[in-house]
Amino acid sequence: MAIVSQHIGDLESTATLADYRQQLQLYQQLFDFKAELIAIDLHPNYLSTQYGQQLAEKYSLPLQRVQHHHVHIAACMAEYGLPLNTQPVLAAVFDGLGMGVEGQLLGGEFLLSDYAACQRLGHFQPIAMPGGVQSISEPWRSAYAQLRYY
């Protein structure tokens, strides 16, 4: 079962994380469910990753680490009603940074993906993000950097 919440925002501040925790508790009460597994991002420094690890330890639940961009693709596939056994799709992912399975930071990549797995087929050359993390909320910065680089 999947329950989609309203947009909470980037979990980069303690206030947003507190709201996220509150919403999760509310949804558990409203929909009367108990988690059987906790899925977290591969990036160990995300507040949501750290909270997921805490939940898995607290409730002795299995922990599944997932690649950030693969989750974006799977969410889009689900949104468009693709069945679980669908053939892999080609996806272009340009949402900032995601940690790869080998611990590298990834961005601007092309993936062949189904719900269970994804394969990186290609990517833009890594470049500095003008303004650092500000580039995540202002993607024009990354586009400008790519245009200047090439």
Residue 60 sits in the same domain as residue 72: no
Residues forming beta bridges with residue 92, ordered by sequence position = 110
- Predicted pLDDT at 29: 93
pTM of the model: 0.81
Per-residue pLDDT of 52-108, as tens digits, reads: 999 999 999 999 999 989 999 999 999 999 999 999 999 998 776 778 888 887 878
Share of the chain above pLDDT 70, in %: 98
- CA gap 108, 96 in Å, rounded: 7
Phi then psi dihedrals of residue 29, to 5 deg: -70, -45
Residue 61 sits in the same domain as residue 73: no
| pLDDT tops 80 at residue 23 | yes
Residue 8 lies in a domain: no
Domain holding 103, by residue range, is: 68-149
Residue 98 sits in the same domain as residue 112: yes
Q: How many CA atoms within 13 Å lie on the side-chain side of 33?
A: 13
Residue 29 lies in a domain: yes
What integer is the mean pLDDT of 24-29?
92
Number of structural domains in the chain: 2
Q: Which residue has the higher pLDDT, 58 or 123?
A: 58
**Per-residue confidence band for 142, with pLDDT thresholds at 50, 70 and 90:** confident
| pLDDT tops 90 at residue 129 | no
CA distances from 132 to 45, 128, 138 (A): 16, 8, 10
- Predicted pLDDT at 11: 82
- CA gap 95, 99 in Å, rounded: 12
- Predicted pLDDT at 102: 80
- Predicted pLDDT at 96: 66
Helix then strand count (H, E) for the chain reads 5, 7
Residue 19 sits in the same domain as residue 79: no
